[in-house]
Amino acid sequence: MYPGAYVASTPDKPAVIMEDDSEVLTYAQLEERSTRLANAFTAAGLRPGDVVALLTENSPRVHEVYWACLRAGLYLTAVNWHLAKPEVEYILRDCGASALVVSAGLRPLVEGDFPALRTRVLIGGEPHSGYTDYEEFLAGASPEPAADQPRGGDMLYSSGTTGRPKGIKPVLPERQVHEPGDPYVAVFGPIYGIDANTVYLSPAPLYHAAPLRFSMVVTSLGGTVVVMPSFDAERAVRAIARYRVTHSQWVPTHFVRMLRLPVSVRGGYDLSSHKVAIHAAAPCPVEVKRQMIEWWGPILEEYYASTEGAGGTFIGSEDWLKHPGSVGKPMIGIPRICDDQGNVLPTGETGLIYFERDDLPFSYHNDPEKTRSAQHRDHPTWTTVGDVGRLDDEGYLYLSDRKAFTIISGGVNIYPQEIEDVLLQHPSVLDVAVIGVPDQEFGEAVLAVVQLVASASPTDETRTSLTEFARARLAGFKVPRQFEFTDALPRTPTGKLVKGKLREQYATAR
C-alpha cells in the first residue's frame, strides 16, 4: 500500500502534522506533490537505481521526497544534518547521488564539487546559483502518475559511532509502488496494530532509519504522523495528549529526559489515548524502563534491529517484566552467539551476535570488504553489526554492548553499558558514558564521563558518591577508576553515544 490508496476515500485527512503547528500535509497533497516530484526527477534524467540525497530538518518535505523516490525506483539517502561539512561531503560522494534536495539553512554543508550530481534543489530561502527552487521544481512537473512506478527504497548510512558511516544498500524489489510486499509494513503493521486509525508521534530526526521507516509504515496504512521539529520532554508529553496519539517511538535518552520532568508535569496530561510506545536504537537501562512502565502502563514495546536489517527481536512489557533487560525473542532471523573465532557458544555465554537468514540481507555500498567482515566465516548468510550479547534458556536475547566498545582490563572483558545503566540511577547523573583508556598496568582502565543534573556540582565529594554508588552495585573490577565531568556528551540525536571521540580525547589527555 501507499498514500495514493487513500486519496479517494480520505483526501483531506492529515498524513503529516507538524507538532509546532507550522504545517499540515493531507493525503491528497502528499499524493500530488510526491507524484510531481517523481516526475521531475525523471525529467531531470534520473533512472531506477539512481540516488537522491536529502539534507533537511524535520518537515513534510521528507515525506514528499521519500514517496517520490519510492514511486520512481530511486534510492533515498537521508543525510544526518548534524554532521560536519567533511562528513556530509563524504556521504554525498560515497553514495554517488544524482540529485540533491537541501534546505536553505543547510546549503553551506553541500557547497563542494560532486561530479555525479545532475540536479540540486533548494527548499526555501533566497534563489541561489546552481539550484532550482523546490516549489518551482514541483510546479514544472506533471501531477499525473507515470504508467510505470517501480518501487524504490532507502539507502541509509550507519550512525558512524565506531568509524566512518557505512551506506547500507538493499536490493530494490521488482514490483510497482502500489503492489503489496513491503517488509516493514508486513512486519511492524500487524505487530503494533498500526492502521488507518493510528496517530503516530515521531520525536526523533527523520534522517534516521527507524523514525523514517515507521513514519512511512503509518502513511502506507492510512494513519497520521505527528512530527516534532526537535525533541523536548514536556512538549512530547503534551503532544500525546493534544493530538490523541495512539502510537509513538522513542530512544532511551528520551525516557531519561521525560522521567526528569517534575511529577506535577508528568501527571498533568491525559495520556489515555496512548496504546503503544515503541523503543529501540540503544539498550534501555532496566530501572529507566521499569519507571516508564509504572508511569505509562504496560504499553512499552521494544525491538532490537539495525539499519542493515540483519535480523530482529521483539518484546512487550509483560514479557519484559518477567525477563528484565531482555530485548526479546527473534521475529526476523535466528540469533547465533559466537566467539571471536566464529564458534557457536553455549546458552548463557556472551559473544558476538549473528543473525541467520536464508540469504544475505544487505551489503555495504562501495565496501565489499566491510560486507565480508559482517558475514560469518563459515556461514555467509549469518551477519553481524558488531553487537555483543547472550541468549537465555528460553531463547530471550540480552545485549551487553557494542564489541568495539568492550573494555579489556587485566585480560577481563568489561561491557560499559552495564556500568552506564547503574550510574544513570544516581540522582546526580543526567547522562554518562563509560570508556576504556590506556593503562600501563591493566592495558585499559575504566573511565566514566558524566553529565550532571543542574543541581549537582563537579566536586570530589560527587566523585566519591558516584564511586560508592557503583561499588555497592557492581563487581570491583567494573567500578570506574576515574570520573570526569562534562557539560554534554557526544550523542547522535537518536541517542547513540559517539564514543570514538571520547576515547580519543581522554586517551590523548592521559
**Local confidence pLDDT in tens for the 510 residues of the chain:** 688 899 999 999 999 999 999 999 999 999 999 999 999 999 999 999 999 999 999 999 999 999 999 999 999 999 989 888 888 999 999 999 999 999 999 999 998 889 899 999 999 999 999 999 999 999 999 999 999 999 999 999 976 655 677 899 888 999 999 998 888 899 899 999 999 999 999 999 999 899 999 999 999 999 999 999 999 999 999 999 999 999 999 988 899 889 989 999 999 999 999 999 999 877 788 898 999 999 999 999 999 988 888 899 999 999 999 999 999 999 999 999 999 899 999 999 999 999 999 988 888 888 888 889 889 999 999 999 888 899 999 999 998 877 778 887 876 778 888 899 899 999 999 999 999 888 777 778 899 999 999 999 999 999 999 999 999 998 888 999 999 999 999 887 667 788 877 888 887 665
Alpha-carbon torsion, ordered 8, 12, 16, 21, to 10 deg: 180
* Topology (CATH level 3) of domain 20-175: Rossmann fold (3.40.50)
Closest alpha carbon to 145 in 214, 64, 68? 68
DSSP 497: B
Closest alpha carbon to 103 in 144, 134, 82? 134
Helix, strand, coil % over all residues of the chain, rounded to 5: 30, 25, 45
Question: How many CA atoms lie less than 13 Å away from 208 in the CB half-sphere?
Answer: 21
CB-CB contact of 287 with 280 (8 Å): no
SS3 of residue 370 by DSSP: helix
Would you call 506 exposed, middle or buried from its count of C-beta atoms within 10 A (0-12, 13-18, 19+)? middle
Locate 436 and state its grid cell: 576504556
Q: Are strands 300-304 and 276-279 parallel, antiparallel or unpaired?
A: parallel
| Helices 286-296, 416-423: crossing angle, 10 deg rounding | 50
The model's pTM: 0.83
pLDDT at position 161 is 54
Identify the CATH number of the domain defined by range 331-403: 2.30.38.10
The amino acid at residue 366 is N
Longest dimension (CA), the chain: 71
Query: Where do the domains of the chain lie?
Result: 20-175, 331-403, 406-509
CB-CB contact of 301 with 314 (8 Å): yes
CA distance 325 to 285: 7
DSSP 299: T
Would you call 163 exposed, middle or buried from its count of C-beta atoms within 10 A (0-12, 13-18, 19+)? exposed
pLDDT at position 163 is 61
CA distance 393 to 408: 27
Q: Cell 566514566: give the residue.
A: 448
Q: Is the dihedral of CA 317, 321, 322, 324 positive or negative?
A: positive
CA distance 505 to 345: 35
* Topology (CATH level 3) of domain 406-509: GMP Synthetase; Chain A, domain 3 (3.30.300)
- The whole-angstrom distance between residue 493's C-alpha and the CA centroid of its chain comes to 9
CB-CB contact of 217 with 189 (8 Å): yes
Locate 21 and state its grid cell: 503547528
- Backbone phi, psi, residue 80, to 5°: -65, 110
Radius of gyration for the alpha carbons in the chain, expressed in angstroms and rounded: 23
Average pLDDT across the chain, whole number: 92
Indicate left, alpha or beta for 140 from its phi (over 0: left) and psi (-120 to 50: alpha). Answer: alpha
Helix (H) or strand (E) segment spanning residue 18: strand 14-18
